[in-house]
Structure 1
C-alpha cells in the first residue's frame, strides 16, 4: 500500500511544503496519564518455508467501497477526503489537525468523542473467556477484517466484513496451548499472525487469503510474540511482552526478523525489570518504529535505517497514557492511536487515545463497558477505524486515512 505512493511524491512535494507552512502550530502540552473470507477452514500444513516478510509489493485492488455508518459521531464522514487525499487511490495524504473533528480543530487536553460514536459490529456472547485482538484489514474477497480469538475454541483467527456478519474461520492454531494474537498484512496479500505459547511452539504463522501455502516461522529467542508489523522490504518487527510465561527466562523485548529469516533483538529488558513491550506500528515513511510499553504507560519511538535495522534505545514520545496501552496504529498524519485497558484488573472499561507524533493528545474515545485491546484502519479508503475489545469489535469514521 505504501509503495504505490512513491511514484506520486515528486508531483505533490511542493504542495506538501505549502500545506505544512500554512498549518498552525500546536503548542498544547501532552497529557500526562496510560491485548468474510471463503468458507474453507484454516489448515496447519507446513508446505511453505518462506520467511514472513515478502518483497513483492503488489497488492490487490480495493473493491469494497462501503463505509460504516457514523451517525451520532462528530468525526468527518468516512467518504469525505477533507484536507487529506484518498488513501485508496495510492496518493499521498496531507491530513492536518485533529483526525476526529471535521474542521481539524485542536482542543486543549484532547477532544472527547461521545461514547456512543463507535458502532458495534461483532460481540462474543458464547465464550466467557473470550479475548479478541489483532485487527487487520486485508483486501482479499472485496475487503475483510482479520481478527484473533485468543482464547477461542478452537484457538483461531477469523474474518468478518466491514459491517460485521458471522465470522468465518481463517486459520486454526496447532493446539490449544498456542494462542493467536497479533495480525499483520504481508505485501503479497497474505496475513502474518503471532503464535504465543508457554511451550516451544511459538512462532509467526503465514497464511494466504485462500488459506493455502501456510507456514510457521520460528521466533527464538522470543517465546511469546504478541504484536507485529511488516516493513517495506520484508522486515518483520514484533514485540514479546512475556504475558504467557510471566517474564520467565529472557525478559520482554522488541525483535526484528530480517528478510533472510534471521531473528535479532532490537531492545530487551531483564526478566526482573518488569516491562511489557506490547503494541507496535511503523510511521507512514517507515523511518520510525513505535512501540507501547504497557507497564510504564509509555509509547516509545525507534529510528529505522534504510536497510531495516533499528537503533536503540527507544525514546519516549507519550510519557503517560490514562490506562494501560496495548495495541497501537498510526494514521497518514503520523498520529498515534493507542488502545488502552483500565489499569485495575477486572474493571471493564478503557479508551482509545490519539496523540501527535510529538506526544500532544488530540482526542479520546471512551469505552465505559469494554477493555480495548487494539486498533486498526481499513475499508476502501482506510478511513474506517476498527477497535477490538476483549469481547467485541467496533467501528467509527476518521478524517485521516490510516496506515495498514
Structure 2
C-alpha cells in the first residue's frame, strides 16, 4: 500500500459496502451485505461496534432523531437508538435484495435494489420522502449502485453498474427521461460501484474488479486514479472531523485469490475535502400498510 493508504479496520467482510460519516456521533457506518451486519468505527477513539440485522442489508444511514435507516432484502426499515426494529416500507420480491442507498440534501432516502442473480432489469430505485411517501424513480435497472449530489444540490449522480456509466440528472427531474451519461468507464478498468462527491464537485467512484478508485472533475474528466491492493473496492466516503480522509469499503466474495486486506475498511489519508452529509428525516411516521 502507498504511504497514505492504510487499513482502518481489519475485517473479512464478504461484501463490505456503503460507508457513511455520521458527524453527530463521530463515527463511520458501513455494512457487510451478505454478512447481515452493520459496522461502526470512531477514528478518534478506535471504538468499533457490530450489529446483526434482520436480513441482508444493502445500506445503513443515520436518522435525524437517532438510530439507523436500513435498506434490507424485503424493503426499508429502521433501528431506533435502543435497537428496536420497525418497517418503514416493506416490498418483498423473491430473489431481490436491497443494495446501495443515499440520503439527499432534502432528507429523503434513495434506495436501490438488485436481483441476487443480477438478472438484467431486475432492480429498481425508490425515493422515500421524510413524510413516508414512496415513489419508484427507476424500474428495470440491473445493479442499482452509487448515488450522490453536487455540492449545490442541483445535480444527482447515479450508477447502474453493468452499464459502466455514471449518469447525471438535474435534481427533481424525472430520472427515467432526464438522466444522461456523465462518464463511461472504459472496458478493463472495472465496473463503477459506490460513489461520493467532494467539496470541489469531483466524483469519486470505486471500481469493482478494477482494483482502483477514479476521481472525475465536474466536467467529467478523469483527473486522479488511486490504485488499490484489493480487486473489489465497493464504495468510498469522506470522514473524520475535518472530512479529509477517504474511507473505502471492500469485498472478499467471488475473489478466488483475495488480498489479505479484502473485506477490510481502508482509508486514504488527506485525499481531499468531503461534503457534510444529511441524516434521513423520515423516522417519525408509522410504517405503511403493504
Consecutive unaligned residues in structure 1, runs of 5 or more: 1-113, 197-201, 343-348
Task: Confirm or deny that 1:364 pairs with 2:244.
Answer: no
Higher share of residues assigned helix: 1
Show CA shifts across 1:126-154 (max 9, x none).
x7xx221121111344x1111112232xx
Task: Output one character per residue of 1:382-403: Cα deviation in whole Å (capped at 9) or x when no partner.
Answer: 1111001111111122232334
> Out of 17, 28, 34, which is 1:151 matched to?
34
CA contact (8 A) 1:284 1:403 kept: no
- Would you tell me which structure has more strand in proportion to its own residues? 2
Measure, in 1, the Cα distance between the counterparts of 2:23 and 2:276.
14
> What is the match of residue 13 of structure 1?
none
Give the equivalent residue in structure 1 for 2:8: 121
2:146 to 268, 275, 279: 279
Q: Which residue of 2 aligns with 1:183?
A: 60
Within a 5 Å distance, the mapping from 1:120-139 to structure 2 comes to 120-125=7-12, 130-139=14-23
Measure how far apart 1:310 and its partner are.
4.0
Answer yes or no: is the 8 Å Cα contact 1:350–1:366 preserved in 2.
yes
- Which of structure 1's runs of 4+ aligned residues deviate more than 4 A? 163-166
Q: CA RMSD, aligned part only?
A: 2.6
Q: What secondary structure is seen at the aligned counterpart in 2 of 1:333? A: coil
- Give me the whole-angstrom Cα distance separating, in 2, the residues matched to 1:156 and 1:373: 16
Native 8 Å contact 1:284 1:332 kept in 2: yes
Going from structure 1 to structure 2, the CA distance change for 1:206 and 1:145 (only over 3 Å counts) comes to same
CA contact (8 A) 2:57 2:98 kept: no
Secondary structure of 1:184 counterpart: strand
1:337–1:353 Cα contact (<8 Å) kept: yes
Residue pairs, 1:16-31, within 5 angstroms: none
Q: Which residue of 1 aligns with 2:181?
A: 316
CA displacement, residues 275-296 of structure 1 (integer Å, 9 cap, x when unaligned): 3221111222222221112111
Residue of structure 1 equivalent to 2:287 = none
Provide Cα deviations, 1:250-304, integer angstroms capped at 9, x if missing partner.
633222122332322212227xxxx322111122222222111211110001222
Pairs aligned (count): 260
Specify whether residues 283 and 185 from structure 1 end up closer, same or farther in structure 2 by C-alpha distance, changes over 3 A only.
Answer: farther
Q: Within the alignment, does 1:160 sit opposite 2:37 as a pair?
A: no
Residue 192 (structure 1) shift:
2.1
- Is the partner of 1:226 in helix, strand or coil? strand
> 1:234 is matched with which residue: 85, 89, 107?
107
Residue in 2 aligned with 1:303? 170
Q: CA deviation at 1:362?
A: 1.3
- With the length of structure 1 as denominator, give the TM-score of the two structures: 0.58
- Show the counterpart of 1:325: 192
Could you give the per-residue CA deviations for residues 338-383 of structure 1, whole angstroms, max 9, x where no partner exists?
Answer: 01111xxxxxx61111001221011011113341011011111111
